[in-house]
Amino acid sequence: MIFLRSLLFAVLLVAITVPYGTIAPLFRPLPPLQRYRAVSYWWRAVVWLARVVLGIRYRVEGLEHLPQGPCVVLAKHQSAWETLAFPTFMPPLAYVLKKELLRIPFFGWGLAMASPIAIDRAAGRQALHILEREGRDRLAKGFWVVVFPEGARMPPGQKGRYNVGGAWLAVKAGVPVLPVAHNAGRLWGRRAFLKRPGLVTVVIGPPIPTVGREPAEVMAEVETWIEARMSSL
């Protein structure tokens, strides 16, 4: 049953992604936030399919911690699920991602219309300056910036090295950091075709202030909070 449901989901995902990716570039003349809202219907459709076809439901704890103003979201990264689901319960989001993702046919074309911040990881320290410049631009336009500090998706129970980039942007821009933990990887694994039914729990922590602090100090606090929550999920 899990195989058949996963197969059906994969077929339906292609069926909605190809036409949507084809028309998405037509949204380019729209203002950034309107473009984002147009593209976000695809995210919502995929999350709906995940619930109806795969049986993947979710609950969010800590919605009261969402700040009123701009912030940088630093989240655990386990699967593709969180990148699809976060926009369903957060304000407009600008994801920091690998530049190569924008080259994927159909999917990348639509993603490019959502004002992401595409980074070349081989650029080293220059990538930090690009992140700061582009991040400030997105924050000024009404987006929250999402950074997955471990960089790659980590299987459940594993922890990667937390990179300082997201905290760097938050400190430079003078906005708080919002830590997020979740356990989506239990159901929707990294590069896994089989996806299992169940409940994903997302936990949003209190905003962490950054003004007058060092990025490394902020990131250490974020890492401590996220990993403590992960151990209880």
Length of the chain: 233
Segment 115-129 shows an average pLDDT of 81
Q: Write the CATH number for 134.
A: 3.40.1130
Structure tokens at 224: 């401590």
Domain that holds residue 120: 2-230
Of 53, 50, 93, the closest CA to residue 180 belongs to 93
pLDDT confidence band for 166 (50 / 70 / 90): very high
| 106/19 Cα distance (integer angstroms) | 8
Q: Is the pLDDT of residue 173 over 80?
A: yes
Average of pLDDT values for 172-180? Answer: 97
Structural domain total, the chain: 1
